Structure 1
Amino acid sequence: MTVPAEVPPVRAEVGLLALLQENGDLLLDEGLSVARELQLYRFALAEMRTKLAVLQDEITLSDDYNPIEHISARIKTPRSIAEKLRRRGHPLTLESMQANLDDLAGMRVICTFVSDVYRLLKVMDRHPDVAILTVKDYIAAPKPNGYRGLHAIVETPVHLAEASHPVRVEIQFRTIAMDFWASLEHKTYYKYDKTVPDALLRELTEAAEHAHELDLRMEAIHRQIRGGDDRAGGQ
């Protein structure tokens, strides 16, 4: 079985407190609680990576085909948490963080083809320890900038010594081509400090369309090579 890469540990620090101390919104105790809570989300990422690794190996053995190119994971930083809560007008508290943010733990699953994205979501939906809470299908309905991907909020139990805790994880499924495009778009927005020239925005949108066309053509070739074998499924 593929051994999932370790999720980097969350440093036990009161970063959220240090960032917002001037507001008086957090006490020292709560700052420490935020760090402990983020460790719980780290454990949830490790759980989901293991589940995906098992699914990946099962499909590879049964179909002689690996649907996952690679997986990355991250925990939202205290600074990013605070900025997002502030931007959305929510209180800067532990309870507010738990209630209002679904992407504290995030995973990116890069698939070879579009059909792999839908297949993995379908298989995960049958997993007894995974509850799919919401799905945003940006493949069927792309974002205005042309981005296509499948974003799901899932919940999985984290079993600790004293109890089990349900924890939410955001999973973004993308193809290789769309992940390359999204990386370029991110770098572009960073380079221009989010004020990207209109002409460049149009080029990025066109590039997203070309990436999707490439996805479809490559999958059609893949199916021809496999002799019309459609076991990989689809939408």
Structure 2
Amino acid sequence: MTEEEYLSFIQPYEDALNNIQVRIDVLNKDYRRKQLNYPIHHVQYRIKQKESIENKLIKCGNDTTTDAARNCLTDIGGIRVICYFVRDIYGIVDLLRKQTDIVVIKESDYIRTPKGNGYRSYHIVFGVPVYHTDGMEYYPVEVQLRTMSMDLWASMEHRICYKGEKKDEAAAEFINYSAALKQMEEEMEGFLSD
């Protein structure tokens, strides 16, 4: 994939990403107006870089073409929504699901069923409509929703276990850290009135 092909290829993914960003921002503001509170601490977003797309395609045994990327990858556009509490995550997911012009492609609830290493998060891939001069097409955007403590855990685990040199030593401890952070979250969420 040339740089020119990449830049042309990602444009509609950027449009789809912007579409979901606006929806999440509007929901957060509307929630704040109506509830005098807001569920989202902050939002991060990214478009996969050319090298990252190519590496993932190679890892999955595919050619490094735009066609392969279009057919195989659902996380070219990604948004990470960092919430205060677990109930905020499920509330945002429910509100997004009610929007009838986006479709759920796939979802994974790693909050109710954490990964073996202790990873907790909610992943949902939406098909987002992008309108062109010659019609409309859906593009996938992966939305990851985490609490602040889940994000801390995932960031540190990635840095130490995934990228670090002492990953074997730290891996077991990170399972314990995940459990401790979950307990802390639940206790803090208990302070909220229903």
TM class by shorter-chain length?
Answer: over 0.9
Match of 1:197 in 2: 168
Deviations 1:75-123 (A, max 9, x none): 1111111111111101222111101000000110001000011111111
Give the match for residue 28 of structure 1: none
Summarize deviations over 1:173-206 as a string: whole Å, max 9, x none: 00011101111111113232xx6123x1111110
- Verify: 1:130 aligned to 2:105, yes or no: no
Tell me which structure has the larger Cα radius of gyration.
Answer: 1
Provide the rounded CA distance (Å) in 2 between the counterparts of 1:210 and 1:154: 31
1:77 aligns with one of 44, 49, 60: 49
What letter corresponds to residue 114 of structure 1 in structure 2?
V
Matches of 2:100 and 2:139 in 1, distance apart? 15
Distance 1:157 1:106 in 2: 15
TM-score (norm 2): 0.94
Which segments of structure 1 move beyond 6 Å, counting only runs of 4 or more? none
User: Structure 1 stretch 145-154 or stretch 156-165: which is displaced more?
Assistant: 156-165
Aligned residue type for 1:191 = G
User: What are the within-5 Å matches in structure 2 for residues 13-162 of structure 1?
Assistant: 16-17=1-2, 32-162=4-134
In structure 2, runs of 5+ residues without a counterpart are none
**1:169 aligned onto 2:172:** no
AA of the residue aligned to 1:179: D
CA distance in 1 between partners of 2:132 and 2:36 (Å): 36
For residues 154 and 28 of structure 2, the distance between their equivalents in structure 1, rounded to whole angstroms, comes to 24
Aligned to 2:191, the other structure's residue is in SS state: helix
CA distance in 1 between counterparts of 2:6 and 2:137 reads 15
If the length of structure 1 is used for normalisation, what is the TM-score? 0.79
Q: How many residues align?
A: 193
Counting only pairs closer than 5 Å after superposition, residues 217-228 of structure 1 correspond to structure 2 as 217-223=187-193
CA displacement 1:128-177 (0-9 Å, x = unmatched) = 22211111000110001111110001011122344322110000000011
Q: Identity rate of aligned residues, in percent?
A: 31
Q: Give the distance between the partners of 1:190 and 1:33, measured in 2 at CA.
A: 30
C-alpha distance in 2, partners of 1:156/1:149?
21
Report what 1:215 is aligned to.
185
